[in-house]
Amino acid sequence: MSETCHTVNTTPDRIFAVLADGWSYASWVVGAAHIRDVDASWPAVGARIHHRVGPWPLQINDKTVVRAVEPGRFLELDAQMWPLGAAVVQIRLEPVSATATRVRMAETLSSGIGRLLPDAVQAVLMRPRNAEALRRLDDIAVHR
């Protein structure tokens, strides 16, 4: 798994509030272009965000599904990214002080052609994208 870390100057609960708002997904996930629908039970296990990925006009309808959740601490997603396949994304929130949280985002391609890439190549390709996603998550959680 490729892991990217970023410290956010707010509490885990404020960050998790962004993660728990499925309609904000395209605001912080790089590559998600439009949210089509969010299951009312999001972020419960099995809940889905229906979104589009890719640049217009080549967007593809896809979805992201919650695999595991510990409110305020952890979220694991099965993120569909066709034509590349799917990725397992884990987001961990670790308090480092009363006003700061370390966010760890780990991702591995789990199906499709991207899965055939060696882990080191996956990490090189995903790290910049995930660093940008964590910067966006930071902006929303701190300034919302």
CATH of 2-143, one of 3.40.50.10860, 3.30.70.3270, 3.30.530.20, 2.40.30.30: 3.30.530.20
pTM, rounded to two decimals: 0.92
Q: What is the pLDDT along the chain (144 residues), one digit of tens a residue?
A: 789 999 999 999 999 999 999 999 999 999 888 999 999 999 999 999 999 988 888 888 999 999 999 999 999 999 987 666 788 999 999 999 999 999 999 998 887 766 777 778 877 788 999 999 999 999 999 998
Task: State residue 69's pLDDT score.
Answer: 98
DSSP-based three-state secondary structure for 71: coil
The full set of domain ranges for the chain reads 2-143
C-beta separation of 84 from 109 below 8 A: yes
HSE (side-chain half, CA atoms, 13 Å) at 123: 8
Task: State residue 63's pLDDT score.
Answer: 94
Residue 37, token pair as written in the block? 């629908």
Task: State residue 82's pLDDT score.
Answer: 64
